[in-house]
């Protein structure tokens, strides 16, 4: 059942305060509320097969993006408005205990950084248990979603790098960039209507041994044909491939990742929110879409 926007905000505040003691319901998110509301899609791409619940996790153990509270608000409200899912926002790593995690259909790593499942006391045994819980969750058929610095998370944990799809190495571009829609007819790309676009954000480059061109179903990438020679020189990746969004499977589970999300306005960009929503519904198992790896160059 859909909640009203007032109820959504009340629920969001409660979720943040109760499940994540380190989450700050920042005032800078409140000032964008009207823009978020105006940007939310009216409906989901498909009706969910059953009630869905996602965990939005935004704990950081490195750089912390100011856009986090804006993203938490937008993603939570989007689920409530469209009926695609309900969300619980938390920065409490105990949510990844197997008995707690099984209550969710997907985990959304929203601008997490570093070793974000490590307890405050540094208990490595517990951290490894929580990491394995996430792996089992995804392999068992659930969803894993990432925005922006979800790939600047556990960069030296190979299994996570494979599940999420890439490991951040640098961000050479923070400006308006041209984006190529690699799969115009893919359901997760429906919002773009086959049209390439430009957007201003911090664009990631991934480590050479991750985000390989033949490893995932790539949806968006930097359009090198429309970039200046000076901007192209900033990209030092050996294969010259600079993906932005993709889908994949891992075990029985599904992954959607989009590197857009550094800046606050990304989370009230109507086009990007609809792209996120389609990706979330794919990861939840509601939106049928091809995730077969396909090299965009072939």
In CATH, what number is assigned to the domain containing residue 162?
3.40.50.880
pTM, 2 dp? 0.92
CB 56 within 8 A of CB 150: no
Instruction: Check residue 297 and give its pLDDT.
Output: 83
The candidate with the shortest Cα–Cα distance to 76, out of 168, 146, 166, 8, is 8
In a domain, 16, yes or no: yes
Confidence of residue 101 (pLDDT cuts 50, 70, 90): very high
As a whole number of angstroms, the distance between CA 93 and CA 129 comes to: 11
pLDDT tens digit sequence for 135-173: 999 999 999 999 999 999 999 999 999 999 999 999 999
pLDDT of 27 = 53
> In the chain, at which residue ranges do the beta strands (DSSP E only) sit?
53-57, 86-90, 106-110, 143-147, 168-181, 197-206, 217-222, 243-250, 253-258
Is the residue at 294 inside a domain?
no
The answer as to whether 293 is a domain residue is no
Asked if the model's pLDDT at residue 12 lies above 50, the reply is no
What span, in angstroms and rounded, lies between the C-alpha atoms of 56 and 72? 7
Query: Is 245 domain-assigned?
Result: yes
User: In 10 A of CB 174, how many CB atoms?
Assistant: 12
CA dist 279 and 261 (Å) reads 14
> What confidence category does residue 293 fall into, taking pLDDT thresholds of 50, 70 and 90?
very high
Place of tokens 């926002």: 89
Q: What secondary structure letter does DSSP report for 263?
A: S
pLDDT the model gives residue 24: 41
Q: What is the mean pLDDT of the chain?
A: 92
Domain total for the chain? 1
SS3 267: helix
- Would you say residue 290 lies in a domain? no
Does residue 69 surpass a pLDDT of 50?
yes
Give me 280's structure tokens: 């979330």
133 φ/ψ angles, rounded to the nearest 5 degrees = -60, -40
Residue 292 belongs to a domain: no
User: How many angstroms separate the CA atoms of 252 and 249, rounded?
Assistant: 7
| Owning domain of residue 57 | 5-284
Report, as an integer, the average pLDDT of 45-71: 97
296 in a structural domain: no
State the pLDDT confidence band at 30, using cuts at 50, 70 and 90: confident
Q: Is residue 148 part of a domain?
A: yes
């Amino acid at each position: 059942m859909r909640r009203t926007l007032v109820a959504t905000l009340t629920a969001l505040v409660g979720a943040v305060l109760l499940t994540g003691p380190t989450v700050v319901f920042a005032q800078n998110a409140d000032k964008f509320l009207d823009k978020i509301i105006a940007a939310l899609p009216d409906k989901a791409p498909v009706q969910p097969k059953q009630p869905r619940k996602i965990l939005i996790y935004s704990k950081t153990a490195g750089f912390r993006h100011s856009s986090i509270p804006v993203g938490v608000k937008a993603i939570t409200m989007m689920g409530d408005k469209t009926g695609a899912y309900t969300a619980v926002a938390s920065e409490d790593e105990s949510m990844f205990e197997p008995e707690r995690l099984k209550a969710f259909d997907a985990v959304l790593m929203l601008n997490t950084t570093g070793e974000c499942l490590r307890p405050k006391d540094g208990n490595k045994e517990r951290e490894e248990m929580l990491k394995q819980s996430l792996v089992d969750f995804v392999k068992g058929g659930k969803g894993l979603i990432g925005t922006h610095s979800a790939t600047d998370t556990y960069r030296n944990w190979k299994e996570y790098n494979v599940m999420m799809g890439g490991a951040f190495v640098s961000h050479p571009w923070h400006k308006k960039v041209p984006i190529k829609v690699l799969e115009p007819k893919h359901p997760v790309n429906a919002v773009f209507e086959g049209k390439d676009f430009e957007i201003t954000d911090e664009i990631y480059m991934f480590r050479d041994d991750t985000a390989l061109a033949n490893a995932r179903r790539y949806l968006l990438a930097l359009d090198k044909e429309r970039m200046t020679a000076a901007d192209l020189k900033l990209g030092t990746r050996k294969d010259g491939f600079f993906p932005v969004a993709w889908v994949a499977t891992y075990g029985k589970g599904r992954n959607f990742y989009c590197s857009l999300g550094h800046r606050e306005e990304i989370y009230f960009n109507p086009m990007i929110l609809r792209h996120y929503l389609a990706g979330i519904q794919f990861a939840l198992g509601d939106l049928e879409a091809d995730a077969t790896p396909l090299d965009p160059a072939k």
